[in-house]
Amino acid sequence: MLLSTAHAKTHDHVMPKIPKDGTTMTDLIRSIATDQKHEAGQPFYILDLSTIVRLMDKWNHSFPNVKPFYAVKCNNEPALLTKLANLGANFDCASLLEIDTVLNLGISPNQIIFANPCKAISHIKHAAAVGVNFTTFDSKLEPLVTAAPCAPRQKFGALPEEIEPLLHYACNVAGLKVVGVSFHVGSIAQDPIIYREAIANARAVFDVADYLGIPKMQILNIGGGFRSTPLFEEIASVVNEAVQDFFPDPNLKIIAEPGRFFPETAFTLVTHVIGKRVRGEKIEYWIDEGIYGSFRPTLYNSCFAESAILGPSCDSLDAVAVDIKLPELELDDWIVFYNMGAYSKCAGTKFNGFDMLSTPTYIVSTNST
């Protein structure tokens, strides 16, 4: 038990490795879009497994002593999960379905942490039945839950004054074995110092546990919020220094729950222009993906004509990008969106009869890995 402070249907197509003869990702996209085996006009993803390998190398170099438990909620693509498992990652699951998704790939239950701070009793029982015994908590109102002094928007996590009674209740009343402390600074953390403050708070929880006579805790979970950007190395440096300052014990096990770090830049989404409308100097395009599929309401800026990109549903809110500039497109053109691996496909729905859950993923490798 860890005290914490603070399944989509898929259709995967394995593609050959991109040859080293000058073939580019653009060439590959064009070949898939025109392949007779691909349903005409259907959007699709490309997952570059070599990017996952490079990112795992980057993680291991920056965090040599931190075991990653990949947050399945970010992207549950089976090929991604299998590759991460083969590279040595464990998994952070937040529901019964996510647990079953990972187990169905042949991954051991010992590689899973059930890390949702609030879990249904039936899910807890199911996790125990399939051998997933590593979980988190942040209140005594739930049998097994996570505690964090600095939790995002205070929906989850325990306040400092709640730590001592929570630990007392967990160990002396509920009979739980508390083995460590978890925190989560929030998604897409931008300030490395936040991690140092959270690690200092975690140290305070360890000290309270020692004061209460609780058996020595062995695990520090530094949560998620990591992205593969230049800031990542700075965050890693701050975290590693803080761990040395506050947790000099070499026997401490440190884990993390990265989500978008691995899939975000590994996935490319290719969409199809299904409609076009000219209004004055502005051109509007409809595509076969939208906010009920892979997109958040905002996207990227480009150049050329004033344009808007609209999703396929009849909801007026289904606007992928507005007030952007694009070269003029025509019906049946394709639009490519890079860095689409995090919180995109897994958030899709079947709203308005458009099945965004079955967008296929083509698995490629840009080198010999």
CB 183: neighbour CB atoms within 10 A? 27
Give the closest residue to 57 by CA, choosing from 295, 244, 232. Answer: 232
What are the b/e assignments for 240-255, b being 16+ CB within 10 Å? bebbeebbeeeebebb
Active site residue 314: yes
| Cα Rg of the chain, angstroms | 23
Tokens of 112: 């899973």
Question: Cβ distance 272 to 43 under 8 Å?
Answer: yes
Question: DSSP letters along 200-236, please?
Answer: HHHHHHHHHHHHTTPPPP-EEE------SSHHHHHHH
Q: Active site residue: 74, 93, 150, 314, which one?
A: 314
Sheet holding 2-4, edge to edge: 112-114, 90-93, 66-71, 253-256, 219-221, 180-182, 2-4, 136-137
Question: DSSP letters along 75-119, please?
Answer: ---HHHHHHHHHTT-EEEE-SHHHHHHHHTTT--GGGEEE--SS-
Please report where in the chains the tokens 């392949």 appear, as a residue. 35
Helix (H) or strand (E) holding 180: strand 180-182
CB 64: neighbour CB atoms within 10 A? 9
Backbone angles phi, psi at 345, to 5 degrees: -60, -40
DSSP 173: I
Instruction: State the catalytic residues.
Output: 314
